[in-house]
Structure 1
Amino acid sequence: MHTARQAARQRRRRHRLMLGTAVILTAAGVLFCLVTAMLPGPEARAGAGAGARAGAGVAAPAATRMGATPPAPTSPAPPAAGSPAAATPSATATATTAAAPPPAAKKTPPAASTPAPSAGRIRPDTSYKGVATAYAAADGNGACLFGPSDDLMIAAMNTTDYESSRACGAYVRVRAANGASITVRITNECPLPCAPGQLDLSEQAFAKLAELKVGRIPITWSLVSPRTSDTLSLRYKTGSSAYWCGIQVIDHRNPVARLEVRTSQGWRKLPRTDYNYFLSADGGGCGGAIRITDIYGEQLTVDGTALLPNVAQPTRVQFAAH
């Protein structure tokens, strides 16, 4: 019995020893896992190395730097409202035009780094030589299709300098050899045999320079930018719609170099006809905002022009004098 009790005690000691060993091993394993988890991995070490290199003088890309300013959008900003000054209706405006508020407009001066667009052959600060003849101007209408006018100090430009209506609306100062001078507005075209430099003046204008019976006199002439209290107007051609339209500028102080309409793709330049309308053959931009640029580079943006055929719609703006 003594031997049996000794064997039992030995078995109990071995069991406690094995249990203690297992507990120690388990605790050691848990401790190892905790220590391993707290150490940085290879990705963290690589990131720390890259950060140290950037701090040593390598700049991060602009798109990812804190405080970087994103590029400004390139889409055109909507035009702001123009001056509240009242507009003077064109002579051809109807009662409907007078009742409607003038379209909103804004001015954009030419950028100093951008060369001013040219209206064609007729340029500022240039003197031209030619001859003056006379014609019966009747009601003052002509190839430029401005319509009848009470002001008959007008002229027809030779075809070469008329240049597909680019001369329409230009004011020119005409000087005769005898010292007399007169300012006229180009409203018509003088076809061949009118030579380059030639102006066919209304009889009323020619009479300011010489007697009508003379018939033909040598002249010099140059572009001017006269004082005027009028604001310019816009007119859609008869037959204009959302699918096709022609747009005309009226009573502008300086020659018009370009006309654009705003479409869903941005500003679109319209071609000019020899009868002084800018055409949108597919209707793009018809009835929307219109941007007009003169030969000095000044831009006028007009919004709110109704798509009303054959109605002169006055605006609140005019090109600056030069």
Structure 2
Amino acid sequence: MASPSHRRAPGKRRTVLAPAVAVAAVGLLVSLVVAVTPDDGSGAVRTSGAAVSTAAPTAGSGAGARPGVPPTATAQQPKRKPSTASPAPRPSATTASARPSRGSTPAATPAPRRASGTAPLAGRMKPGVTYDGVATHYDAADGDGACLYGPSPDLMIAAMNTTDYETSKACGAHVLVRAAGGASVTVRITNECPSPCAPGQLDLSKEAFAELAGLSAGRIAITWTLLSPATSETVSIRYKTGSSRHWCGVQAIGHRNPLARLEVGTGSGWRQLTRTEYNYFLSPDGTGCGGALRLTDIYGEQLTVDGIAVRPDAVQPTRVQFARH
């Protein structure tokens, strides 16, 4: 269909003039003279109207528009923004929640359940869970190990199998170990036991193993559980060798419960540092080195420590400790 601006309309006027010819010749001549002038003028107006419509069209009006004739989609029509000009109505929160078949995001993704209901940040090692495994023994020497806590006079320690060591998440955990005969010992995880140590296996110091069985047994069946022991110690902080304001590794020592996160203060909040398999949290660009620290245990409790200077290899005590569970 041609656009309204291309339509011609003078036909009606010509049909009106036909009866006048039968009345009189003089009337016909007069009518023709009168009819020619409006016809030419009407054409000129419509052409001008088409030009106006091209230059500045308006929605639903303008020259060339006719009642009952919808405007065609041409370059002359202003472009619409389908999503901005007339957005589709959005369902309200009440409507969305009332349609469980489609569901909202919270309904479709239920909140994760906490491990044992008490330790939301626990990894493989969870409180209230008894693990089956075997115990072997090794010569712990001065008590140092993969967790890099350094020498220790307390040799009631153990190396955790790599699976449950979980990139040093087990470091510092206190574990109650029970033998089949009923003997028990509490150890602290300071080392990692690589393959062939299997999941559930603990490699105890000779001193700790001797509390359960004779060393000649070599390998015994055990169960073990995570503890949150009584202690009079507070947490200490140590910066790794080579640490400065431009790069640092931070370690927490003596925490009652397994450590889940270590964060450093920044100008805009807290930044979580990445934990290494050797139990240091690294700030590769120096962010937060020498500033405030925030420690979080597997139970979600947070301790804030300030005033710890960057002094590599120095164990600096704090006045804080996690609660007992």
**TM-score (norm: length of structure 2):** 0.63
Contact 2:119 2:127 in 1 (8 A): no
Show the counterpart of 1:308: 311
CA offsets, 1:158-183, max 9 Å, x none? 00000000000000000000000000
Show the counterpart of 2:266: 263
Mapping of residues 189-208 of structure 1, within 5 Å: 189-208=192-211
* Separation in 2, partners of 1:205, 1:223: 16
Deviation at 1:118, TM superposition (A): 1.9
Within the candidate set 126, 130, 139, 2:129 is matched to: 126
* Separation in 1, partners of 2:284, 2:193: 28
Show the counterpart of 1:291: 294
CA offsets, 1:10-49, max 9 Å, x none? xxxxxxxxxxxxxxxxxxxxxxxxxxxxxxxxxxxxxxxx
SS of equivalent residue, structure 1 residue 186: strand
CA offsets, 1:91-144, max 9 Å, x none? xxxxxxxxxxxxxxxxxxxxxxx9854231001101100000000000000000
* Separation in 2, partners of 1:234, 1:187: 16
Show the counterpart of 1:54: none
What number of residue pairs does the alignment pair up?
A: 209
Show the counterpart of 1:105: none
Q: Highest CA radius of gyration, 1 or 2?
A: 2
Structure 1 residue identity aligned to 2:292: A
SS of equivalent residue, structure 2 residue 177: strand
* Separation in 1, partners of 2:139, 2:242: 30
Q: Does 1:151 align with 2:147?
A: no
SS of equivalent residue, structure 2 residue 274: coil
* Separation in 1, partners of 2:290, 2:122: 25
Structure 2 residue identity aligned to 1:194: C
Higher relative contact order (CA 8 A, sep 6+): 1
Q: Does 1:182 align with 2:200?
A: no
Structure 2 residue identity aligned to 1:282: D
* Separation in 2, partners of 1:165, 1:197: 15
Contact 1:118 1:295 in 2 (8 A): yes
Within the candidate set 216, 219, 223, 1:216 is matched to: 219
Deviation at 1:218, TM superposition (A): 0.3
* Separation in 1, partners of 2:177, 2:300: 25
SS of equivalent residue, structure 1 residue 134: strand
Show the counterpart of 2:100: none
Show the counterpart of 1:233: 236
Deviation at 1:221, TM superposition (A): 0.2
CA offsets, 1:240-279, max 9 Å, x none? 0111100000011000000000011210000100000000
Contact 1:154 1:184 in 2 (8 A): yes
Show the counterpart of 2:324: 321
Show the counterpart of 1:277: 280
Deviation at 1:291, TM superposition (A): 0.2
Contact 2:244 2:286 in 1 (8 A): yes
Show the counterpart of 1:142: 145
Q: Percent identity at matched positions? A: 73
Within the candidate set 239, 242, 245, 1:242 is matched to: 245
User: Where does the alignment leave 5 or more consecutive residues of structure 1 unmatched?
Assistant: 1-113
Deviation at 1:186, TM superposition (A): 0.1
* Separation in 1, partners of 2:120, 2:284: 24
* Separation in 2, partners of 1:233, 1:151: 17
* Separation in 2, partners of 1:282, 1:317: 27
Show the counterpart of 2:257: 254
SS of equivalent residue, structure 1 residue 279: strand
Structure 2 residue identity aligned to 1:272: R
**TM-score (norm: length of structure 1):** 0.64
SS of equivalent residue, structure 1 residue 182: strand
Contact 2:136 2:219 in 1 (8 A): yes
Show the counterpart of 1:164: 167
* Separation in 2, partners of 1:117, 1:263: 25
Deviation at 1:299, TM superposition (A): 0.4
Contact 1:234 1:250 in 2 (8 A): yes
Structure 1 residue identity aligned to 2:284: A
User: Where does the alignment leave 5 or more consecutive residues of structure 2 unmatched?
Assistant: 1-116
